[in-house]
Structure 1
Amino acid sequence: MTTVDSRRSSPRSPEQRKREALERLVRDNDVWVATADANGEPCLVPLAFWWDGETVWLATRDTNPTGRNLCSSGRVRLSFGHTRDVVLVHGTARMWTREQLPPGVGDAFAAKDGWDPRKDHPSYVFFQVTPQVLQAWGTVPEMAGRTLMREGKWLV
């Protein structure tokens, strides 16, 4: 994957940014997960994830703030990468218990990260995040065209 050069003066094309964002979703192991409770109290945590080609799968306890927030609102923001090469996903989350998981999801999640939440504490559940908006940019010249997906549809 290409790393954004902070000295670059010309922006990457939207097509290149989409390609590199998808590569990041396949390659990275962790993601910053931002949620908020009903009072607006923010919560930001890093979690392991698995990208199935259309949605992002997370696992966390349904008893911790992130799990409670996802169960309550179903709203989430995910941040992949770093500040000079970021992919932001605004999405909706659906909870799945280990018994409800579609075939292959738990095994694929465990194979990617080397950790299987199904074998950990019983309060671990999975969340399937469906992207609604995806933005990718590296430097100021890329800010104007950073939105690559809107309302769950690719613009590129």
Structure 2
Amino acid sequence: MTASRPIRLATIPVVLCVALYCVYRILEVVPWGGYDPGFDPGGQVLATGVILATGAVQLRFAFTRLSGLRAGALLGAQVLLVYGPYLVFGSLWDPSGAFVVAAVLLTFAGRYSWAVAAFAVLCDLTVRVLLDQPGIVDADGVVYPRVAYSAIVAVVLARGRHQDGPAGPAQGGSRASAGGQGRGRRQADHDGARRRHRPEPPPAGMTNPEPRPPAIRRADVLAKLTAPVADAWVATGTADGPYLVPLTLAWLRERIVLATDGRSRTATNIAATGTARLALGGTRDVVMIDAVLEETFPVAQAPSWVADGYATGTDWDPRSAGGAYLYLLLRPDRIQAWREENELADRTLMRDGVWLS
């Protein structure tokens, strides 16, 4: 029986928000109850299709982590869907600026994302004023609260994807390495924002030590990533269910490099979703990494810094395994590290690809 994929708590409000907004927008372009928006029948069909396509693109942004050119192309498509109809409908068209703001927040990472989002709101208002969009200023000269509305919708849509709390069950996986699935210890359980240890005796010297400062924890994380032959549990997943295997990684130029057969479930899952979750260390010295696929290289076409760097940092050179193997270049998006419960409060060391300390 195929395992069902866990539903994140943010899924329902994000989908509901997008659906309700699309319904609201469609009711603005079709006549009903004596209301005539001024669109002819062909315009009603075209505008309705654009609104539905805009909602579909926004859901793609909300639930799939894209990177590089794909994210930029999808953002461009969203901008075109939102503002392109001006060329057909003129001032009759009311662009969904909130979707563009939310898409910007889901495309740009780190502290600069909000500055770019504010710029998108400013551009939206500029376009509306230049094209004499009705509804910017009411009859009393008061600015219509469109900016506040756009900001609220954008935050709801964006926060559906950027959650700081521990994620649910591991989703995903990849090809088992030569050691099979015997390497690594059991994965730590999460219970909301608190971690409950399994009933196993703590290692010597690890009984409730003083919490490490974030800077020390970051150094410990980097030490694990740069250690010779660094192994990690790699989790991926699709609608067919989660998949988890151990793989050896290399840490090169602030990126995680994995090597696996291009036909493996790990490679196909990551190609489909663009994401993976990695776990290093034992249950009392945890490093959890949520990563985004940045590039994929066949072993024969990989740049030398990837191929040589991986071979130098691990005990294996994939170039000797044949042409089916790939290098997967992953960009860390969020990194968490903790040992005991007293380190949970500051466990997030990287958010949106930016180190916090």
Relative to the length of structure 1, the TM-score reads 0.91
Residue segments in structure 1 that go unaligned for 5+ positions in a row: none
* Aligned-pair identity (%): 37
Aligned equivalents of 2:349, 2:206: Cα separation in 1: 21
How many Å apart are 1:81 and its aligned residue? 0.8
Aligned equivalents of 2:316, 2:310: Cα separation in 1: 8
Contact 2:300 2:323 in 1 (8 A): no
Aligned equivalents of 1:108, 1:9: Cα separation in 2: 36
User: Is 1:110 aligned to residue 299 of structure 2?
Assistant: no
User: Is 1:81 aligned to residue 287 of structure 2?
Assistant: no
Specify the alignment match of 2:264 in structure 1: 64
Aligned equivalents of 2:259, 2:220: Cα separation in 1: 24
Deviations 1:98-150 (A, max 9, x none): 23322221112112222111110321101011000000101110011000000
1:18-57 map, 5 Å? 18-27=218-227, 29-37=230-238, 39=239, 41-57=241-257
Q: Which structure is richer in relative contact order (CA contacts within 8 A, separation 6 or more)?
A: 1
Specify the alignment match of 2:329 in structure 1: 128
How many Å apart are 1:40 and its aligned residue? 5.1
Aligned equivalents of 1:21, 1:49: Cα separation in 2: 14
- Label 1:100 to 1:65 Cα distance change in 2 as closer, same or farther (>3 A): same
Provide the secondary structure at the position in 2 that maps to 1:99.
helix
Comparing both structures, which one devotes a greater share of its residues to strand? 1
Partner letter of residue 112 of structure 1? Answer: G
Contact 1:57 1:129 in 2 (8 A): yes
Provide the secondary structure at the position in 2 that maps to 1:121.
coil
Contact 1:87 1:134 in 2 (8 A): yes
Contact 2:224 2:230 in 1 (8 A): no
Partner letter of residue 26 of structure 1? Answer: T
Contact 1:59 1:126 in 2 (8 A): yes
Deviations 1:37-77 (A, max 9, x none): 2x150010111110014001000011111111011111100
Relative to the length of structure 2, the TM-score reads 0.41
Instruction: Provide runs of 4+ in structure 1 moved above 6 Å.
Output: none
Comparing both structures, which one devotes a greater share of its residues to helix? 2
Aligned equivalents of 1:34, 1:19: Cα separation in 2: 24
User: Is 1:101 aligned to residue 302 of structure 2?
Assistant: yes
Specify the alignment match of 2:208 in structure 1: 8
Of 132, 139, 144, the match for 2:340 = 139
Aligned equivalents of 1:143, 1:5: Cα separation in 2: 19
Deviations 1:12-36 (A, max 9, x none): 1111100111111001521110000
Aligned equivalents of 2:311, 2:272: Cα separation in 1: 26
How many Å apart are 1:5 and its aligned residue? 4.1
Aligned equivalents of 1:58, 1:153: Cα separation in 2: 21
Contact 1:62 1:71 in 2 (8 A): no
Residue segments in structure 2 that go unaligned for 5+ positions in a row: 1-202
